[in-house]
Amino acid sequence: MIKLLRVDHRLLHGQVAVSWFNSLDANTILVANDEVAQDDFRKSAIRLAKPENAKLVMKSVADSISAINSGVTDKYKMLITVESVKDANELIQGCAGKINSLNIGGTKPREGTKNYSKAVNLTNEEAKTLTALQKNNVSVYIQQVPNDKKQTFEEK
């Protein structure tokens, strides 16, 4: 069961590892990221942030989609983190009907981005992707930590 899909450019860190993991009563964290899946150094760094009681899996986005669609992940209560809106969209589209909400937790400022909250900066293309997801009945919201109020995404 997918408890949360979160976009966070840092992937796994204290906020995700402690706050979200515990509040969701999750038992598994899936980091879906093509670069991490092939980078042993980044995998090691991410393992340091893993809660002691968590199962941690790091796969490419395509392999994550395959695992979710195969049913092998159904027995887990999963928190999924991705690095970008692009990866989140790919995951949602590839797992048709299995993911119906998207938490935008953190995207760093980059050239051509607009600020949507203290930790969320999006390009026009990313904003349009999120709006398209909403039109397809995916709840898209900004929320850094579980105690923060959910802010429904609205394109600027």
Domains of the chain: 2-148 (3.40.35.10)
CA dihedral sign, ordered 130, 24, 2, 73? positive
Q: Which of 25-29, 49-53, 88-92, 133-137 has the lowest mean pLDDT?
A: 49-53
pLDDT at residue 148, rounded to an integer: 94
Tokens of 62: 């395509």
pLDDT bin (cut points 50, 70, 90) of residue 101 is very high
Give the percent of the chain with pLDDT over 90: 94
Phi, psi angle pair for 139, to nearest 5°:
-75, 120
Residues 6+ away with beta carbon under 8 Å from 114: 121, 122, 123, 124, 127, 156
Q: Of 74, 137, 126, 61, whose CA–CA distance to 100 is shortest?
A: 137
Q: How far apart are CA 131 and CA 153, in angstroms?
A: 8
> How many of the other CB atoms lie within 10 Å of CB of 56?
16
Q: What average pLDDT does the segment 72-101 reach? A: 97
pTM of the model: 0.95
**Cα(144)–Cα(123) distance, integer angstroms:** 19
